[in-house]
Amino acid sequence: MDLWALKYAPSKSSEIKGRGENTLNILIDFVKNYKKQKKKAMILYGPAGTGKTSSVVAIAKELDLELIEINASDQRNKDQITSRIGSAINQMSLFSKGKIILIDEVDGVAGNSDRGGISALSAVIKKSSFPIIMTANDPFHKKFSSLRKSSQMIEFSTLPYTVIKSILMEICKKEEIEYDETALTMLARYANGDLRAGITDLQALCESTKKLEKKDLEDVFDREKTETMIDALMRIFKSTKASVILPALDNVDEDMDQFFFWIDENLPKEYTKIKDLAAAYDNISLADVFKGRIRKWQYWRYLVYVKLLLTAGVGLAKEEK
């Protein structure tokens, strides 16, 4: 399952939608004129799916800079941060190009297991010869005070549904999807400001059918019948229709860990082709990554991605019913 959210990510600043020109100019100026900046780091903050990471990636491509991307949740203590990020700021960039150091989800460092991680990161920023850009959902925890003092702050607020709708329309055109405009508006509103979630839902509903109708969304979002785990598994394993598969977990009163267990237990019995099994397990693995992030940082918006990958990601991995 090639995620459309990655396929249609912007590759230059002019493709970044929903951000004012001033915001992008500040970001580009910080990178291009880093040595003149008083504050040697930048924090892009806001809810998931608002374009923080994709904006940095696009600007790196546009300026032909090497991008070193580090997930802060994997470097939580002083030694790990000094080793991983410290080496990134000291190494020359490939082919003598400049580079950007992107530290994703930096608020993951501020959990209970933080052992000098924030102070180590602040020290690394002072020594860096390259621009350091961090992303965070909420950087206003008291542990972040030293980082905020040394960083420019740019807010990435939730995107208006009109912006999300326009991007979904562009994707529909490129993917040759026939759509009902009312249905597309409903989908954009349901994303609740999270562009990545909107694109992901669009893919789940339309990738196989190349069509989006209002009825598809009603099937997905308006079901009230309580269902069992067996009902959910039957939907996922036996159907190839996204509008049937996607809401499979919505009305099942079971713990998410239990569903991981059930699907892992039954998948090899239902999918006999190696290709189908491999694709399904790839999506289960990615769902498990998002589940881990929910547990670490309480980012419950990631539950959207867990459900998508466990339902449509597994169900549409098969070639046949």
Q: Based on the number of CB atoms within 10 Å of its own CB, is 316 exposed (0-12), middle (13-18) or buried (19 or more)?
A: buried
The answer to which of 82-86, 100-104, 155-159, 204-208 has the lowest mean pLDDT is: 82-86
Class of domain 19-155: alpha beta
Per-residue pLDDT for 138 more than 90? no
Per-residue model confidence as pLDDT tens digits over 4-32: 888 999 999 999 998 888 899 999 999 99
**Distance (Å, whole) CA 184 – CA 319:** 27
pLDDT at res. 52: 94
pLDDT at res. 79: 66
pLDDT at res. 219: 62
pLDDT at res. 208: 81
pLDDT at res. 225: 47
Give the count of beta carbons closer than 10 Å to the beta carbon of residue 262: 16
pLDDT at res. 303: 79
Per-residue model confidence as pLDDT tens digits over 35-72: 899 998 999 999 888 999 999 999 999 999 988 888 76
Q: Residue ranges of the domains in the chain?
A: 1-7+159-222, 19-155, 224-321
Report the topology of domain 1-7+159-222. Answer: Helicase, Ruva Protein; domain 3 (1.10.8)
Per-residue model confidence as pLDDT tens digits over 94-134: 565 788 999 888 876 655 454 567 887 888 888 888 899 99
Residues with Cβ < 8 Å from 174, sequence gap 6 or more?
A: 8
Residues with Cβ < 8 Å from 121, sequence gap 6 or more?
A: 72, 81, 85, 103, 106, 109, 147
Per the CB < 8 A criterion, the answer to whether 117 and 76 are in contact is yes
Per-residue model confidence as pLDDT tens digits over 212-270: 998 888 766 654 445 678 888 888 888 887 778 887 887 777 778 888 888 888 899 88
pLDDT at res. 109: 67
